[in-house]
Amino acid sequence: MAITNTEAVVATPREGKFNKNAARRVRVAGKIPAVVYGAGKETVAVSVDPKVITRILHSDSGHNTIFDLNVEGSGAVKAMIVDWQHEPIKGKLLHIDLKRIAMDKAMRVSVPIQLVGIPIGVKSGGGILEHVLREVEIECLPGDIPSHLDVDVSNMELHGLIHVSDLPHSGSIKFLGDENATVAHVTIIKEEVVAVEEVVAAPTEPEVAKKGKTDAAAAPAAAAPAADAKDAKKK
C-alpha cells in the first residue's frame, strides 16, 4: 500500500505576482514555488521546502506517497505530488504541483512494476530477460495504492511472456488499459548472419587473345594489295 509520510509538508502562501522573477526570489530564499489544488477547493500558490519534497520523491513509494500538507492559515489535508520540474543541468527542483486527496474517492495512478527472480530461460537457456512495461496504470482508493507491484519471473522459460493479466490482482485495485500488454519476456539474441552473394563473372578472353584475333582478321586485307601488285608486274 502507499506509504503515508510521517513528515508533514509545510506550505507558505505566496502573494503578489507569480512570474519568473517572483519564482526566482522564492528559490533564492531556499524554497521552491508550488501550487495546491483539488478536492473542490480553490488553487493556492505556495512555497515549500525542497529538501522535504526530495525525500518524498526518493522514498519507496515516490510520488505516490500520501502525506499531510499544512498550508499556513488553513487546516491540514492529505496530499500527493502530481507533477514536478527539475533544473536540467544540476537537477535541482524548480516547481511542484500538489493535489489534495480525498481518502474516500478512487483515483488513478501509475505504479512501478518490479521483476523478482532470475528466469529459467536465462539461467539454462542462454536467454535475456527484457522488461518491456515498467509502470501500469491502476484505479483504487488512496489508501490502497501500492508502492510497487512485484511479479515473480523465476519460472519463465525461453520465449516466455508475462502480461498485465499475470500481475497480482485484488478486489481493491482495478487495472486500466490492455490486460494483454506484455510486461516482460525472455528472448534470445540472434547472431546477425551476413549473406555473401557470390558474383560469378562471365569468362573473358585475355587481352592478348583479343589482339591476336584482330591481327588475323587484318592479314587477308593486307595480303590483297600485295597480290594486286604482283599481277601488275606480270602484265
Supply the pLDDT for residue 77: 93
pLDDT band at 219 (very low <50, low <70, confident <90, very high): very low
Supply the pLDDT for residue 166: 95
Phi and psi angles of residue 230, each rounded to the nearest 5 degrees, phi first: -65, -45
For 94, how many CA atoms within 13 A lie in the half-sphere containing its CB?
Answer: 11
Supply the pLDDT for residue 233: 47
* Residue 37: pLDDT over 50: yes
What are the structural domains of the chain?
Answer: 4-102 (2.40.240.10), 108-187 (2.170.120.20)
pLDDT band at 20 (very low <50, low <70, confident <90, very high): confident
Residues in the chain: 235
Q: What is the DSSP string of 143-168?
A: GG--S-EEEE-TT--TT-EEEGGGS-
* Residue 214: pLDDT over 50: no
pLDDT for 53-100, tens place per residue?
999 999 988 999 999 999 998 889 999 999 999 999 988 999 999 999
Please compute the mean of the pLDDT values over residues 162-187 and round it to a whole number: 94
* Residue 113: pLDDT over 60: yes
